[in-house]
Amino acid sequence: MIVFTEHDMMKDLQQPGGKIVLLVMDGLGGLPMEPGGPTELEAANTPNLDRLAAEGSTGLSVPIRPGIEPGSGPAHLSLFSYDPVRYEIGRGVLEALGIGFPLTPNDLAARGNFATADADGVIVDRRAGRISTEECIRLCEKLQAATGDALPGYEVFVKPVKEHRFVLVIRGEGLGGQLTETDPLETGKKPLPVTDESGTPEGKRTAELVNQWVEKARAALADEPRANSLNLRGLAKDPGLPRFPNIYGMRAAAIAVYPMYRGVASLVGMEVIEFEGDRPEHEVDALARIWNDYDFFFIHVKKTDSYGEDGNFQAKVHEIEAVDAVIPRILELEPGALIVTGDHSTPARLRSHSWHPVPTLLWSPTAMPDQVQRFGERACASGHLGVFHATTLLPQAMAHAGRLKRFGA
């Protein structure tokens, strides 16, 4: 399977051309709930996406490697044409950048999840009942007051993100290592201690510091009715990735509601667009407003993934239909190329991310139509694009938009 990471070649071949829209329905791919039934995408009424599938090229994309279940950060990097195996990024960095927290080279960032634990410390709800963002703000202020001075010689920042999510940043000299996560990823288990897998003195010391903070933080939360515990994931430092605008010669804008996806876009050099609302129509309002100012537009829709993780098949269907309804407005802007896909699959049947390839369509006035007439997993399996690595998608869109010069004489 070809993995596209030739950034130097793209710098040489880039040229001005048409505008490109990358529309990502997070967790788009699904599975039938019963044998012979439809997936969420196949069950949805999507006349506009079906039209794009009929007029464009379709296929199934693989975010990481075949059989590998992807996290959201690596899967989005793949869509931006960064091989996620080569460019590893901790989710904490993405969350911090997503809320506009200015990371320094001395910062270690972690994504935090408030959780509910029983009297023995066993996790019974990994998301604390999806508490409100207002509650998250209160809890972060409580943790900041209780733990801000918990690590002598280091600064500690606890910042709210959205609902049950928060960011922890520890700032100081000598932080590093390859740190494990505390989240057991399922209920009925106790949280795990942070350990270092790098074998370095700084890694060992950093793991000890994080565990000290976690102990004090859980003690501060012990009297809370729901969010009486927490877990940390994606502990890492900013890796300093090559910048998207420099590689591809495109001014790039990110239109996303959730901070993590704003973070991954910011990490590669996209400009994060502020807008009101949280529905697909509000995101397309923002797209129309900034259309003349950028060349590449990343639009992220989160709730397809959330409903998949909740096991809510029908709600995911309705969210896909809501996206379908705004497609004509995107086409009115006359993009040179439009990609519609997901970062990974999140079948409601599994209630989690999965390794299944993701239905993908590439529409352009110069696209090669295949025999596919509907946008769905089984239809895309017979499409012109075949089964391909997601890193190869952006160069194809650039070619259709006239943004690549010929290679060689």
pLDDT in tens, 197-221: 999 999 999 999 999 999 999 999 9
Supply φ then ψ for residue 122, to 5 degrees: -80, 135
Q: Give the position of tokens 């991954």.
A: 264
Q: Give pLDDT tens digits for 152-169.
A: 999 999 999 989 999 999
pLDDT higher than threshold 90 for residue 185: no
391 within 8 A of 70, measured Cβ to Cβ? no
Give SS3 for 271. Answer: strand
DSSP 69: P
Q: Give the position of tokens 């505008």.
A: 19
pLDDT higher than threshold 70 for residue 297: yes
pLDDT higher than threshold 80 for residue 139: yes
Helix (H) or strand (E) run with residue 207 in it: helix 201-221
pLDDT higher than threshold 90 for residue 239: no
Give the Cα separation of 7 and 268 in Å (integer): 13
Domain ranges of the chain: 7-88+241-400, 94-236
Choice among 246-255, 266-275, 279-288, 396-405 with the minimum mean pLDDT: 266-275
105: confidence class by pLDDT, cuts 50, 70, 90: confident
Output the six-digit token pair for 110: 């972690």
> Of the CATH numbers 3.40.720.10, 2.30.40.10, 3.40.50.300, 3.40.1710.10, which one belongs to the domain with range 7-88+241-400?
3.40.720.10
- What pLDDT, on a 0 to 100 scale, did the predictor assign at position 1? 65
322 within 8 A of 279, measured Cβ to Cβ? yes
- The Cα-based distances of 226 to 19, 26, 65, 218 in angstroms read 47, 28, 38, 12
pLDDT (mean) for 31-54: 97
Output the six-digit token pair for 267: 């990490």
Output the six-digit token pair for 310: 């909740």
DSSP per-residue string spanning 276-312:
S-SSHHHHHHHHHHHGGG-SEEEEEE-HHHHHHHTT-
Give the Cα separation of 405 and 190 in Å (integer): 55
Report the C-alpha dihedral over residues 274, 280, 286, 290, rounded to 10 degrees: 120
- What pLDDT, on a 0 to 100 scale, did the predictor assign at position 5? 64
pLDDT (mean) for 314-331: 98
Q: Any idea which fold 94-236 has?
A: Alpha-Beta Plaits (3.30.70)
Supply φ then ψ for residue 162, to 5 degrees: -160, 135
Which is higher by pLDDT, 329 or 241? 329
pLDDT (mean) for 94-107: 87
- What pLDDT, on a 0 to 100 scale, did the predictor assign at position 152? 94
pLDDT (mean) for 123-140: 94
- What pLDDT, on a 0 to 100 scale, did the predictor assign at position 88? 80
Report the C-alpha dihedral over residues 379, 384, 390, 391, rounded to 10 degrees: -170
State the SS3 of 158-204.
EEEEECCEEEEEEECCCCCCCECCCCCCCCCCCCCCCCECCCCHHHH
Q: Average per-residue pLDDT in the chain?
A: 94
- The Cα-based distances of 401 to 76, 268, 395 in angstroms read 21, 21, 10
pLDDT (mean) for 3-19: 88
Amino acid letter at 95? E
pLDDT higher than threshold 90 for residue 241: no
